[in-house]
Amino acid sequence: MNIKNIVLGIAIIILTIFVTFYGINTFYSKPNYDDFCGDVKTQEVINSLERCEEIGGKWSVYEDVRPVEAGAEGFCDRDYSCRQELEDIRKIRSRNVFLIALPLGIIIIAFGAFIFGLEVVGAGLMGGGVGTLIYGAGAYWSYSANWIRFIISLIGLIILIWIAYWFNKKIGKKK
């Protein structure tokens, strides 16, 4: 493969990743902080646990930090509840992005391996499929347990080894 084909392959990898990333985000948008916590900021000074909980905040007691206000025993994290809701929605979205990107990445890899006879296009799509897998797994990785990460990695490895074996067997028959 000459240098032009290598550059074209890298460009196809990058653009395939962009298409899948922005495609998923276009049709399944990310939750926005302002949609959950846009109205929690007020001018009111909240210096009691009761008022803090009333507005959905979480009261935190000062420990090693010197209070800003004399006599204050703690502070109110005003957007605690809405941030928790946002985090729950982000976790669900991350799982769903993973469930979308995983098969999509495998399909792109298989498409690049089996459909395109032009090596640079096939290799570029396969690289883009790998990038799509990384994007999908990365979105959910921090929320998943180690055993889920292990199973996901093992299944992905088995599928890719099978694709590589089948593809190379197919190529070997042609030669």
Residue 13 near residue 131 (C-beta atoms within 8 A): yes
CB-based contacts of 82, cutoff 8 Å, min separation 6: 36, 37, 40, 56
Instruction: Calculate mean pLDDT across residues 120-131.
Output: 91
pLDDT tens, residue by residue, 28-56: 999 988 888 876 566 777 878 888 888 88
> What pLDDT is stored for residue 175 in this prediction?
59
> What pLDDT is stored for residue 102 in this prediction?
87
Report how far apart the first and last C-alpha atoms of the chain are (Å, whole number): 18
65 pLDDT higher than 70: no
The percent of residues above 90 in pLDDT, for the chain, comes to 30
Domain boundaries in the chain? Answer: 3-31+83-174, 42-78
112 pLDDT higher than 60: yes
Residue 23 near residue 48 (C-beta atoms within 8 A): no
Q: How far apart are CA 19 and CA 14, in angstroms?
A: 9
> What pLDDT is stored for residue 15 in this prediction?
94
